[in-house]
Structure 1
């Protein structure tokens, strides 16, 4: 017997988010967050709301371009966790290839209310 997996709206939203990030669609990806959403990412102060996230994705982000590959998705009731790889180019021309984990929380209307990103990096 073969199991059939159904993709929920939350998981579909998370995959769509990475498509928009990789395409450089700042307005599209920011619109997936609620107006007062918080994004926490190593090396940056927490970003709150569309204006701060637009500023980040519109130029403050050190990544110029690249592609996310999601390898694993774990879903809770109103949250989705993923891990995968990212390969791309920084604004200074250096190539980057790393592993990441993201944790998304959802508002009642289906927008992201919070996102936390972690990178696998040799810090300690």
Structure 2
């Protein structure tokens, strides 16, 4: 397993278990997080605020169906099952992660079949 694949698998483990300090350690300080129809999240302060205070998903589990690596980019397709704004949900997602030269995730894009994250 490559270092980038391992980092991405850890990302989903950490986000599902709400191990935020471990999750943040996978990202560069200048991380940019893109979500359709919403402003990008720029930098670690905004990224941490999003996960600690803003994220609508309350709990759940990500299941990876496909993971593809190409140079500095990892694309993931899967399913999420959990609680979103008090409602039990299940939906598909596609995430793209770009790594910097130090092996940290510097850019992230998220797409879901719900139209939101």
Task: Give TM class, smaller chain.
Answer: over 0.9
Please give the root-mean-square deviation of Cα atoms over the aligned residues, in Å. 1.2
Which residue is equivalent to 1:82? 76
The count of aligned residue pairs is 115
| Structure 1 residue 27 corresponds to structure 2 residue 27 | no
Give 1 or 2: higher strand fraction: 2
Q: SS at 2:97's partner residue? A: strand
Larger Rg computed on CA atoms: 1
Q: CA deviation at 1:43?
A: 4.5
Shift of 1:44: 3.0
Q: Which runs of 5+ in 1 are unaligned?
A: 1-6
Give 1:58's aligned residue. 52
TM-score normalised to the size of structure 1? 0.88
Structure 2: unaligned runs, 5 residues or longer = none
Any idea what SS the aligned residue of 2:51 has? helix
TM-score, length-normalised on structure 2? 0.93
Contact 2:63 2:78 in 1 (8 A): yes
Assess, with a 3 A threshold, how the Cα gap between structure 1 residues 121 and 93 changes in structure 2: closer, same or farther. closer
Q: Which residue of 1 aligns with 2:88?
A: 95
